[in-house]
Amino acid sequence: MQTDLKKIVKDKYAAIASQSEANGNCGCCGDQSTQSYTILSDDYENLAGYAPEADLQLGCGVPTGYAGINAGDTVVDLGSGAGNDVFVSRALVGPAGRVIGIDMTEEMIRKARANNDKLGYDNVEFRLGDIEDLPLENDTADVVISNCVLNLVPDKEKAFRGIYRVLKPGAHFCISDIVLLGELPEKLRESAEMYAGCISGALQQDVYLALIRKSGFRRVEIKQSKPVVLPDELLRSYLSEDEIVEFRRKRHGVFSITLVAIKE
């Protein structure tokens, strides 16, 4: 089952990479076609290091904004795509630092490497690899970042243990990801996944945070939380008007969070 899910995700992102080369950038957060919906993506345009050709609008936050990246750091970006967060991180670490992007999709790695060839950075590297089996040595990174990727990983506990392994003692990660608050009716959740494909694989927020703590991390702190606004016309298919009001009042639904946790 996990192998099947990985293949679905890999095929989807390969199609996004290929389409972006042919037709311009597109976001993942739409239906299961390659149509562009950017309801979760954030604006990177004013950030140092931003490279438009590397921004496929696949994220749901800006983890570099909360990651505490310093000059000279080694940063690892999990699910690095075409390199958007890698190049922003490179501007923060400077020429004395190092940034490693890891992605399991060959098409994304090729696109990211081509982008880096144009930019000419010699301290940026893109590696083909699986987040559940990171191609990195122990105690490699000062900071690990990821943007709207961990929710798509089948074995999240294994992924967090891997992140813990590759971080240096006292180092930290900063991840933007999708979680759920409150129980969504099954049919509503399925429709929400079709409306915003990045929701697939999302866990309840408390379960997600518990997995991080179980992996050994401490001082887990949510820095930002924002709702993924599902349109009323979608909700009306499953909820009454009163239920919609209650649903929104209780802040139930799908949320993008950005969090930090420390390896102690």
The model's pLDDT over 194-250, given as tens digits with 9 standing for 90+, comes to 666 667 788 999 999 999 999 999 999 999 999 888 888 888 888 889 988 888 888
Q: What does the pLDDT read at residue 16?
A: 67
- Identify the CATH number of the domain defined by range 2-177+198-227+255-263: 3.40.50.150
Residue 5 pLDDT > 60: no
d(CA 44, CA 55): 8
Q: What does the pLDDT read at residue 26?
A: 45
Residue 49 pLDDT > 60: yes
Four-CA torsion 59, 68, 202, 212, nearest 10 degrees: 160
Q: What does the pLDDT read at residue 1?
A: 46
Residue 41 pLDDT > 70: no
Q: What does the pLDDT read at residue 24?
A: 47
Q: What does the pLDDT read at residue 252?
A: 82
Residue ranges of domains in the chain? 2-177+198-227+255-263
Q: What's the mean per-residue pLDDT of the chain?
A: 86
Pairing of strands 203-204, 217-227: unpaired
pLDDT band at 187 (very low <50, low <70, confident <90, very high): confident
203 versus 15: the higher-pLDDT residue is: 203
pLDDT digits (tens, 9 = 90+) for 88-147: 999 999 999 999 999 999 999 999 999 999 999 999 999 999 999 999 999 999 999 999
Residue 29 pLDDT > 90: no
Q: What does the pLDDT read at residue 10?
A: 63
**pTM for the full model?**
0.86
185 versus 88: the higher-pLDDT residue is: 88
> What's the rounded mean pLDDT across residues 32-39?
39
Q: What does the pLDDT read at residue 34?
A: 37
Q: Which of 32-46, 74-88, 179-193, 239-253 has the highest mean pLDDT?
A: 74-88
Residue 25 pLDDT > 90: no
